[in-house]
Amino acid sequence: MGGAENGQGKVLEPYGWVATTNVPAEQCDTNFERLQSQAQAEVGIFKKLGFDELLTQGLASHGALVSRLNKAFVNNLKTTWVPNTLRRICEEQGKFEFENAKLGMPPAHTDERETQAVVRNVIVQASYLLS
């Protein structure tokens, strides 16, 4: 096993490091079975080397790495992507509101009954199309 100090690993700042192994895969029928076999063998290697505590602390195994990466991804969503996206949505909404205001108000309907009749007719036509 190598370490980050000799170029064989990276530290995910501020999330720390996770030890993993690349256990040779057994012959399996599916990729899922192969990955399960690798995961079990990896845990076995860490236990054989006496690194049970690293497994318990979530500092070793691909499962620990996936968990750490998931936390980093969720943190990025919360602190960067969501705020930036909401800001952009608000900016775009402001642009649409301005463009809509430039269009002005629609002409007032003189006869409310005529409008209701038109709406009823459209609904009836739509219901025939959908049935």
Cα distance between residue 45 and residue 39, in whole Å: 10
Tens of pLDDT along 92-108? Answer: 998 988 888 888 877 66
Question: What does the alpha-carbon distance between residue 47 and residue 61 come to, in Å, rounded to a whole number?
Answer: 11
Do 17 and 68 touch, CB atoms closer than 8 A? no
Q: What is the pLDDT of residue 2?
A: 45
Q: Please, which residues have CB within 8 angstroms of residue 64's CB and are 6 or more apart in sequence?
A: 18, 20, 55, 58
Domain housing 24? 4-130
Report pLDDT for 19. 85
Backbone angles phi, psi at 113, to 5 degrees: -65, -40
Total number of domains in the chain: 1
Residue 130 structure tokens: 């959908």
Residue-wise pLDDT for 15-62, tens only, equals 778 888 887 767 778 888 888 888 888 988 999 999 989 999 988 998
Taking a C-beta distance cutoff of 8 angstroms, is the pair 61, 43 a contact?
yes
Q: Which residues contact 55 (CB under 8 A, 6 or more apart)?
A: 43, 46, 47, 61, 64
- The sign of the dihedral angle between the CA atoms of 45, 47, 51, 56 is positive
